[in-house]
Amino acid sequence: MTVLEQTPGRDDSGARPTPTAAWRPRTDPAALLPDETPFRLLGTSARLDKERKELWRELYRRLVHGRRYNQQATALTKQGRLAVYPSSTGQEACEVAAALALSEQDWLFPSYRDTLAAVARGLDPVQALTLLRGDWHTGYDPRETRVAPLSTPLATQLPHAVGLAHAARLRGDDVVALAMVGDGGTSEGDFHEALNFAAVWKAPVVFLVQNNGFAISVPLAKQTAAPSIAHKAVGYGMPGRLVDGNDAPAVHQVLAEAVERARSGGGPTLVEALTYRVEAHTNADDATRYRSDDEVAPWREHDPVRVLERELRQRRLLTDAEAEEAAADAERMAARLRDRMNAEPLLDPRDLFAHVYAEPTTQLREQDAMLRAELAAEDEPGEPGAAGHDHQHDQQHEREHQHEHQHQDQERAA
């Protein structure tokens, strides 16, 4: 990377140095541009060595697992066991490949839609779903799991990933951060700032955009006029890669290459995975308002689980027995998850005050004491007046619940 201030060049005539001649492109843009067609492995004649074969089979088992996880989580919303669930059905290839592309010490920065990636990384699903269940904001220890809190404010997790990766590099640690964001999220200023910082700092980060065609109801064509989202990379001086997001081996390979590039000091990469949000935005959304079934149909065909299964069978890498075992395994996971989510979570109202500051302020201590007194009074049925108040309290809650049930089409999350 040459910089203008060091190399005054020569002008057209060759006669005398002028500064503008120094302003040549500082990196070769051609190397940064994505290929015209998304990278694919399925349906190609790619040769597989033993390791690759095992990887594809592993991807398959995890996709089956992931699909079942999505179904179970959606079912839990219907039973009122999750406040809301933004499903990644149809996007499992991206979720699973993202998790597998990372090493133990690397960090994942998921959005609200990416609990599956966290689970595929090894997180307890109940912990991963804590936010969406509504019992606490983050259900796991990010440092222990190297999974950042699920980010709801769009694209805000991207600068965090850059900062963390940069910090690790400054400390001499071998850590790559992989940050996930949607097509809609790329319109936010934080996307721009994060990519720019990453490129200037050569931070070991990989940005994975799951372009699933929609930001809630807004189709990509209203989101950007760019040739592709991957083309945004050149504006930051980093390579952009385009991949078929429903082709799990392809996504895995592109991400693994980008992670390796980051790990070896090559800097950040922007990966755009082309996929599709087969379900509504969340269980609370009504997708029929903005798209037709006709549009969804071909994507149900180009389903990440199906296309991988078909190919594995064609290549004789999957037996019926193995497929059944994968399904059975997923079923066991789902049953366990259902059971555990049916148990009422243990909640302590005093947690409200416990973690606002390292040490609660005087003000919070007073408020904590007030709440404790209230709770104690509620527990004492004999307390005069309390019953009356409790009654009011209950009425109020009942009314609120009615609201929620009457208006399930309201958007309650993410």
**Which of 10, 18, 54, 373 touches its own copies (CB under 8 A)?**
18
Tokens of 144: 């222990």
**Which of 358, 379, 381, 382 touches another protein (CB under 8 A)?**
358
Sign of CA dihedral 211, 212, 213, 216: negative
Among 130, 134, 136, 204, smallest CA distance to 166 is for 204
Q: Which residue has the closest beta carbon to ligand TPP? A: 182
Q: DSSP letters of 304-354?
A: HHHHHHHHHHHTT---HHHHHHHHHHHHHHHHHHHHHHHSPPP--TTHHHH
Among 137, 95, 94, 141, smallest CA distance to 116 is for 95
Binding partner at 33 among another protein, its own copies, Mg ion, none, C-beta below 5 to 8 Å by kind: its own copies
Decide: is 271 part of the binding site for another protein (CB under 8 A): no
Decide: is 93 part of the binding site for its own copies (CB under 8 A): no
Tokens of 264: 């070896």
Min separation Cβ 237 and Mg ion, Å: 18
C-alpha 141/C-alpha 139 separation (Å) is: 7
Binding partner at 358 among its own copies, another protein, Mg ion, none, C-beta below 5 to 8 Å by kind: another protein
Decide: is 190 part of the binding site for another protein (CB under 8 A): yes
Phi and psi torsions of 155, nearest 5°: 70, -5
Decide: is 83 part of the binding site for another protein (CB under 8 A): yes
Q: Cβ distance 116 to 142 under 8 Å? A: no
281 classed as catalytic: yes
C-alpha 89/C-alpha 212 separation (Å) is: 11
Which of 52, 57, 290, 291 is labelled catalytic? 290
C-alpha 56/C-alpha 314 separation (Å) is: 13
Min separation Cβ 209 and ligand TPP, Å: 8
DSSP single-letter state for residue 344 = P
Beta bridge partners of 147: 108
Q: Cβ distance 88 to 95 under 8 Å? A: yes
Stretch that binds another protein, among 42-50, 117-125, 169-177, 307-315 (CB under 8 A): 169-177
Which of 81, 169, 261, 281 is labelled catalytic? 281
Whose Cβ is closer to its own copies: residue 20's or residue 395's?
Answer: 20
The number of beta carbons lying within 10 Å of the beta carbon of residue 403 is 10
276 classed as catalytic: no
Whose Cβ is closer to ligand TPP: residue 68's or residue 113's?
Answer: 113
Binding pattern to Mg ion, positions 163-182, x when CB under 5 A?
-------------------x
Binding pattern to another protein, positions 327-346, x when CB under 8 A?
------------------x-
Binding pattern to its own copies, positions 26-55, x when CB under 8 A?
xxxx--xx--xxx-x--xx-----------
Decide: is 58 part of the binding site for another protein (CB under 8 A): no
Helix axes 304-314, 92-101, angle to 10 degrees: 70
Q: What residues between 293 and 352 interact with its own copies by CB under 8 A?
A: 295, 298-299, 301-302
Whose Cβ is closer to another protein: residue 194's or residue 278's?
Answer: 194
C-alpha 304/C-alpha 66 separation (Å) is: 11
Binding partner at 212 among its own copies, another protein, Mg ion, none, C-beta below 5 to 8 Å by kind: Mg ion
Tokens of 71: 């179904």
85 classed as catalytic: no
Binding partner at 153 among Mg ion, its own copies, ligand TPP, none, C-beta below 5 to 8 Å by kind: ligand TPP
Q: Cβ distance 271 to 258 under 8 Å? A: yes
**Which of 106, 183, 279, 303 touches Mg ion (CB under 5 A)?**
183
**Catalytic annotation, residues:** 277, 281, 290
